[in-house]
Amino acid sequence: LEESTVRLMDWFKALSLKYESFSVIQIDAHFDLRKAYEDYEHSHASIMYNLSQLEACKQIVHIGIRDYCEEEEEEAKSNQKSVTFFDHTLKSNRYKGISWDKQCEIIVNAIHEKYIYLSFDIDGLDPKLCSGTGTPVPGGLEFHEAFYLLNKIVESGKIIIGADLCEVSNLPHSDFDANIGARVLFKMCNLLTKSKLN
């Protein structure tokens, strides 16, 4: 896992050589904005912090966040690149009658770069869709909410330059998680292809 996050950073660095400015769309229950986790700077808990240090990464749009520490909340507030749509805010707005379509429009308008990198942590979804994931948290997006949003982002003219899907359970008896994970990946690939037509 640690090796894979180091490799992911190498990939981000390569992307930043090709694209001089991009926004990151992160669907996740967690910010992953820790400067270090147990003194280690390259874990999955620091991946968004490390990404934010790249000059080409102009913005990180965090969506569905609902489990974080004080340090991360401070980082998200003080880092000019972070724009956060907390899960509790998205839910409260829904309860007040603000439609998902309207909220997606607000999210789309907050994305300021044409090129986007999509990071999809399966725990951004409701845990009934990913019960075997490492750190499930109540709340989160429904499958169709996530893809309604992502499709709207692509239809606004953005181009997806790269994407990852993480934290899908590979535990025995996680067939349902694997099923959902495969469907998420399939739809992400479709969106990536669709966005190339923009």
- Point out which span in 2-10, 24-32, 147-155, 187-195 binds Mn ion (CB under 5 A): 24-32
Q: Which is nearer to Mn ion, 56 or 125 (CB)?
A: 125
Q: Is 87 a residue that touches Mn ion (CB under 5 A)?
A: no
Interface pick for Mn ion out of 23, 27, 28, 82 (rule CB under 5 A): 28
Q: Which is nearer to Mn ion, 30 or 34 (CB)?
A: 30
Q: For the CB of residue 134, give the shortest distance to Mn ion in the complex, in Å.
A: 8
Q: For the CB of residue 110, give the shortest distance to Mn ion in the complex, in Å.
A: 21
- Region label for 98, one of left (φ > 0), alpha (ψ between -120 and 50) or beta (otherwise): beta
Interface pick for Mn ion out of 15, 24, 27, 30 (rule CB under 5 A): 30
Backbone angles phi, psi at 73, to 5 degrees: -60, -45
- Point out which span in 20-28, 84-92, 96-104, 139-147 binds Mn ion (CB under 5 A): 20-28
Closest-CA residue to 61 (of 101, 18, 11, 112) = 112
Give DSSP secondary structure letters for 59-86.
Answer: EEEEEEE----HHHHHHHHH-TTEEEEE
Backbone angles phi, psi at 165, to 5 degrees: -125, 125
**Cβ contacts of 99 within 8 Å, gap of 6 or more:** none
Residues 122-141 that bind Mn ion (CB under 5 A): 123
**Cβ contacts of 59 within 8 Å, gap of 6 or more:** 23, 24, 81, 82, 83, 111, 112, 113
Count of residues that interact with Mn ion, criterion CB under 5 A: 5
Q: Which is nearer to Mn ion, 123 or 145 (CB)?
A: 123
Q: For the CB of residue 124, give the shortest distance to Mn ion in the complex, in Å.
A: 7
Q: Which is nearer to Mn ion, 64 or 162 (CB)?
A: 64
In 27-174, alpha helices (H) = 47-52, 70-78, 87-95, 100-110, 143-155
Q: For the CB of residue 133, give the shortest distance to Mn ion in the complex, in Å.
A: 8
- Point out which span in 23-31, 70-78, 90-98, 180-188 binds Mn ion (CB under 5 A): 23-31
Query: Site residues (CB under 5 A) for Mn ion?
Result: 28-30, 121, 123
